[in-house]
Structure 1
């Protein structure tokens, strides 16, 4: 099963990290990623730029596009890990070990659905499956 561990932060979290050396952050995140690589569970990991983003709000027609950065952030997604593990419980155990501390720091865990969970007779699923097979993703 694949799970996405989403790094979440608040303005308070970001403020708490203002004086932390970036090399120290990279060292702790790097060690954690290396541990997951050695365990054979890491599929992907990326950081997300918190200063340059766009929100597309679909509550109106046409949708409204708002450029970042954002002033008040209740919760900001700062990055993610995708893990291939045996269970939700194993994903939780990895999340508990993540080098994230401080006020407002959270890790959300979401299972990634597989293409096999959708109706296989659906034309759009068939097209996506063909694309995934052609690009070596299946």
Structure 2
């Protein structure tokens, strides 16, 4: 079954570090519970403002730049990973997300699967990738 990254775009509010209200947190918890009960949600988290982050630019040597970063609408403030039959199903779940202000953007992107790489992903790499995924799942219940 396809997996999708659901990417909540930042806004001036999230970049200012303004946290959601208690009511919004309760609504989001109810939404997340429905996603988990349906088997759609694999994981999800909010992210701190970019002012608390860094970027690594791969030059020689790699360069580290501290946040904040702009413009806000090009940044991510949270994410979910969904597992649904189709992108349309993932979109329908996203449309139920509560409490987001007018103009909020949530991006839905299909995760690359091993099969997407075709012949450039040899059997031995597939076996290693599967073993790593099993280790991660066993450790945290993740994707």
1:15/1:73 Cα in 2 relative to 1: closer, same or farther (>3 Å)? closer
> What whole-Å deviation, never above 9, does each CA across 1:21-51 have from its counterpart, x for those lacking one?
6212211111110111121211111111114
Do 1:5 and 1:80's aligned partners in 2 also have CA atoms closer than 8 Å?
yes
* Greater per-residue helix proportion: 2
Q: Find the counterpart in structure 2 of residue 24 from structure 1.
A: 23
1:69/1:136 Cα in 2 relative to 1: closer, same or farther (>3 Å)? closer
Instruction: Name structure 2 gaps, 5 residues minimum.
Output: 139-143
Q: Find the counterpart in structure 2 of residue 7 from structure 1.
A: 8
Do 1:115 and 1:129's aligned partners in 2 also have CA atoms closer than 8 Å?
no
Instruction: Name structure 1 gaps, 5 residues minimum.
Output: none
CA distance in 2, matches of 1:73, 1:63: 24
> What whole-Å deviation, never above 9, does each CA across 1:88-116 have from its counterpart, x for those lacking one?
10011011111252254110001012223
Matches for 1:1-138 after TM superposition, within 5 Å: 1-11=2-12, 13-14=13-14, 18=18, 22-50=21-49, 51-58=51-58, 60-70=59-69, 72-118=71-117, 119=119, 120-121=121-122, 123-133=124-134, 135=135, 137=137
Instruction: Tell me the number of residue pairs that the alignment of Structure 1 and Structure 2 aligns.
Output: 134
Do 1:4 and 1:112's aligned partners in 2 also have CA atoms closer than 8 Å?
yes
Do 1:4 and 1:109's aligned partners in 2 also have CA atoms closer than 8 Å?
yes
CA distance in 2, matches of 1:84, 1:21: 26
TM (norm. structure 2) is 0.75
TM (norm. structure 1) is 0.77
